[in-house]
Structures are given as C-alpha cells and as structure tokens.
Chain A
Amino acid sequence: MDTRLSPDDLAALISRCTGVPVTSEQVTDPGRTFDDLGVDSLGVMGVLAELQRDHGVSKDAELLTHQSPRELLALLPGRA
C-alpha cells in the first residue's frame, strides 16, 4: 500500500475525485476549507474513501466540508 502522498499528489487526487481543479498551494493552506474550494460533502467522502483504501488513512477518520485539505494531509500516516 502506497502511503506516501505529496501535496501535489493530494491536489491531483482531489481534482480527479471531485472535478474541482485544486493546486498544491491550496491543499497546504490551513485557511482553505473544502467549502471554500467548492467541494461538497459527497466529494469529501470520495476523497477520504480513496485515502483510506489506498493510502493508509485510518478507517475511523472523519472529515467534513468545513475542514481543510491541510487537515486531510495531517491524517496521512507519517505526517501527523
């Protein structure tokens, strides 16, 4: 299981799952929430599911749209 994921990788994953173009700067900006980016709750659910499946994020992790991609990065193993 590949658990290494750079901000660029996460930005690409979010873009692919949600159709919202996202940059690596945006995913590392602590003030930028999924709501700000225009990612809805189903989009966040899909992103989280993929990270849980392929990138070692805990099955118990939860994420809501008022949180930021930066918080999601922190959920990745070896990054907390």
Chain B
Amino acid sequence: MSPATTGPAPVVTGLGVIAPNGLGVGEFWAAVRDGQLALAPIGRFEPNPYPVTVAGEVTGFEPAGWVDPRITVQTDRFTHFALAAADLALRDAALHPAEVDPFEFGVMTASYSGGVEFGQREIERLWRNGPAHVGPYQSIAWFYAACSGQVSIGNGLRGPSGVLVADEAGGLDVLAAAGGELRRGARAMLVGGAEAPFCPYAMCCQLGLGLLSTSGDPAAAYQPFTERAGGFAPAEGGAILVVEDAGAAHQRGATVKAVVAGHGATYTGRRRFDRSAQGLLRAATGALAEAGLTPDDVDAVFLDAMADPCADAAEAEALHLLLGERANRVPVTAPKAGYGRCYAAAAVLDVAAAVLALEHGLVPPTPGVRDCRFDLDLVTGAARPVDLCTVLVLSRGVYGGNSALVLRHPESPTIGGV
C-alpha cells in the first residue's frame, strides 16, 4: 500500500508487560535499561531431565489478583499472562473499555505454543485414568485463540478480533493485522501475545528445534552475535499494547507513546537462516517504504538475535545490505539476551522495549554480551542516549518467517502507517 492511500498511522497509547525481568513497564524498563540478567535454572517443573536447563521464567506472578478465579480454572498460564498484560496496558493508556463502542474495540494476539501446560495436565489424566478424567475446559484452554477470546470477554470487547499463529515473527505481524482493523473502522485494539512453554511436553517440542542453548550458566546461556553463540534461552511472559486510531486517540486526549509507521513480512523457508538475510532485508525495506522512509532514517534497530551462528551472520548481513556504510554506526541491540526468547511474544516484548526506548531517548544494552563478532554497533554495557525518531524492530520465526516493524516517536513527521 502506498503512503498516499493510508490515513494517519495507528498509535501506541498503552503498554502492559509481564516478563521474566519485571511485571509492568516500570520494572521491565528499569531491567531492560540496566541490562539486568533474568535468566535462571528452570524451576517450573521438576525433575528436569532435558538438556536445556536455563530459561527466563516469570517468577512472583500468581493469577490471584490479576484473573477472576472462575477464569483461572479454565485457562492456561499463557492466558493469565495475557489477561494481566491487557489490564496493565489499559491502565497505562488510561482507557476504560466502556469508553469505546464495544464493536469498535477488538483484540489481536499472536501465539506460538498455545496452552501447553494445561494441555499436559489433561493429557496426563487421559493416559493415567481415561477419557472421563479430562475436564471440559481443555477444549478452550489449550487453544491458540484463548488469549484473544478471554481478553475480549473479560473486557466486554466485541470488535474485530483474532489470533495469528504465524511463527515467532507473528509478534510483529499482529501489529499490522491490528492496523488493518483500525483502517477498516475500529477505534482501538488490544494487541500482543503471551507464551508459557515450560512443562515437559512443551520443552520436548522446543528441543526438536535444535536452536536452544544447553548451557547451564545463566550468564553464558544466551550470547547472540558473539563467538560463543550457541542457541537461545527460551522464555515465558508476554506483552499487550493498546493501539488506537490516531484520530480516536487525539479525540480522547490520549498520550501517544509511539506511531506504528510501517510493517513488512517475508518467508524464506524452514531452517534456511542463510536466506533470512534477504528475507529480513526485504521485510525491512517494505516496512520503511510503508512508513514513507528510507534506511537512512533508521536511528536504532532491535534485533531478532537467534544466537545461532548462521542466523546471527544472516541478520548482520541484512543490516549491512539495508544500512550500507551506516551499518557499523547505527546502534543495534537485543535486550532479550537478558530474559530469553519468548516465541510469539518475543517480538511484542521487543516492540514494548522499543516504544520505551523512543520515550526515554535511550538504546538499552544487550545484557551479558561484551564482544560482537560482526562489524555492527551492538550496544553493550550501559544504555546509550540517542535522539531517537525512528526505530526498526526485526523478528524471525524458527520456521522461516521474517518480519520488520517501524516505530516512530510521536513528534516525528509521519507519512505512512500500517
């Protein structure tokens, strides 16, 4: 779509985060900004006979206080995260759902794992005791759409809603999907994703990817872009954003945190990270074109950071192809190295971090990483003050999706929009 045919781009007015490094944007941003390490030995299930022992777990989160008890029994942990994050996002946006026509307020989430912990519990009952022991809530709890459904029911939203099961890059695509609904007449959308993939069944599914770190040292488990890159640490958690039609946000006097200016997505095939250089390049070029911008406008990049040697090299190559001679001068970062890779919610957490970076004029560091093996300006150590107008967020799926999202500071002149 050419910029001329789009209206004002959608705007982010609220952030809700439930992450291994903090509950709520206050804790999350402080941890991201300071490059805190939130990886630790897996404690969610015991014993853990698997080779992956370090992960980013959300500790100190109990559904009580966040989730209605009758919803708690019929939902998986990933939905508890989504409900809590949605609640935080609405509060952050100072938006009460009742202020919006319910048919103009929808929910769009991305999912990778679904309700696996709940599912494992019910499958255990099936095999140990028989079909009569499987509870009826299994039918809705495992389902990818459970978060969108429960968030819409819980908040009385009846607008356009759905779930994207589009690999990890779906965490960016979901913002484009929400932008489409806003263009078609919705006023507000809750957008994001959540994952809770820590039970033996889910762990076995992830082991098959062959991409997870088997390091037992939390400080060394997730080292993207270094010589020691040996896979990523998985994570649980999620983020929900309030994204509004720019006119609607202005009308209600909302504080705009960022503009969702452009999105692009490509597919380059399962386990073909060599091809993802072109895939990411084209996704990013498309996103910038939709925003009415060029690569010269990019002030910082939030990286996918798979921590697979081939995937890291492809991402570095994409940046060189995209940014040309600026490639080693544009600050790039991977905050998720501090708390893990949260599948479909990973990119949503990156978007939350990027929005906060725009707000604070700081590019946060890549925690625990000191030595980048590529000719890139990877921010390490302390957060770097940068006058940020335009931030690019990159995401790849483990099965071949490549997506890019362009976020802009609300005071930037904006041409395009998703």
A-to-B contact residues, CB < 8 Å: 16-21, 38-39, 42-43, 45-46, 49, 52-53
Q: Is there contact, CB below 8 Å, between A17 and B132?
A: no
CB-contact partner of B69 in A21, A39, A42, A46, under 8 A? A21
Q: B residues near A, CB below 8 A?
A: 68-74, 132-133, 135-137, 139-140
Residues of B within 8 A of A52 (CB): 132
CA distance A17 to B72 in the complex (A): 11
Contact B140–A19 (Cβ < 8 Å)? no
Residue of B nearest to A21 (CB): B69
Q: Which of A16, A20, A49 interacts with B136 by CB under 8 Å?
A: A49
A49:B132 contact, CB within 8 angstroms = yes
What are 23 contact pairs spanning A and B, CB under 8 A? A16-B73, A17-B73, A18-B73, A19-B71, A19-B73, A20-B69, A20-B70, A21-B69, A38-B70, A39-B70, A42-B74, A42-B136, A42-B137, A42-B139, A42-B140, A43-B70, A43-B74, A43-B136, A45-B136, A46-B136, A49-B132, A49-B136, A52-B132
Interchain CA distance A17-B70 in the complex, whole Å: 9
Give the residue name and chain of the A residue nearest to B141 (CB). Answer: A42
Main secondary structure on chain A at its contact with chain B? helix
Contacts of B74 in A (CB 8 A): 19, 42-43
Complex contact B136–A19 (CB within 8 A): no
Q: Which 7 A-B pairs have the closest CB atoms?
A: A19-B70, A19-B73, A19-B69, A42-B136, A45-B136, A53-B132, A46-B136
Is the beta-carbon distance between A46 and B135 smaller than 8 angstroms?
yes
Residues on B with C-beta less than 8 A from A20 are 69-70
Q: Is the CB of B139 within 8 A of A19?
A: no
Per the bound structure, the CA–CA distance linking A17 and B73 in Å amounts to: 7
Give the complex CA separation of A19 and B69 in angstroms: 5
Q: A43: which B residues are within 8 A, CB to CB? A: 70, 74, 136
Quick check: A18 and B70 within 8 Å, CB to CB? Answer: yes
Report chain A residues within 8 Å CB of B139.
Answer: 42
Q: Check if A19 sits within 8 Å of B72, measured CB to CB.
A: yes
The distance from the CB of B41 to the nearest CB of chain A, in whole angstroms, is 31
Give B76 Cβ to nearest chain A Cβ, in Å.
Answer: 14
Query: Cβ of B71: which chain A residues have Cβ within 8 Å of it?
Result: 19
Closest to A41 in B: B136
The smallest beta-carbon distance between A18 and chain B, in angstroms, is 6
Q: Taking A21-B69, A38-B70 as contacts, is the C-beta distance between A46 and B137 under 8 angstroms?
A: yes
B136→A53 contact, CB < 8 A? no
Nearest neighbor of A16 in chain B, beta-carbon distance: B73
In the complex, what residues of A have CB within 8 A of residue B140's CB? 42
Q: How far is the CA of A16 from the CA of B135 in the complex (A)?
A: 12
Q: Could you tell me the distance between the alpha carbons of A9 and B384 in the complex, rounded to whole angstroms? A: 61
Q: How far is the CB of B44 from chain A (nearest CB, A)?
A: 22
Which of chain A's residues has its CB closest to B63's CB? Answer: A19
Query: Which chain A residue shows the least CB distance to B140?
Result: A42
Neighbouring A residues of B132 by C-beta, 8 Å: 49, 52-53
Q: How far is the CB of B321 from chain A (nearest CB, A)?
A: 52
A21 to B133, CA, bound (A): 22
CA distance A21 to B132 in the complex (A): 24
Chain B residues with CB below 8 A from A18, complex form:
70, 73
CA of A18 to CA of B74 in the docked complex: distance in angstroms? 8
- Chain B residues with Cβ under 8 A from A16's Cβ? 73
Q: How far is the CA of A16 from the CA of B72 in the complex (A)?
A: 11
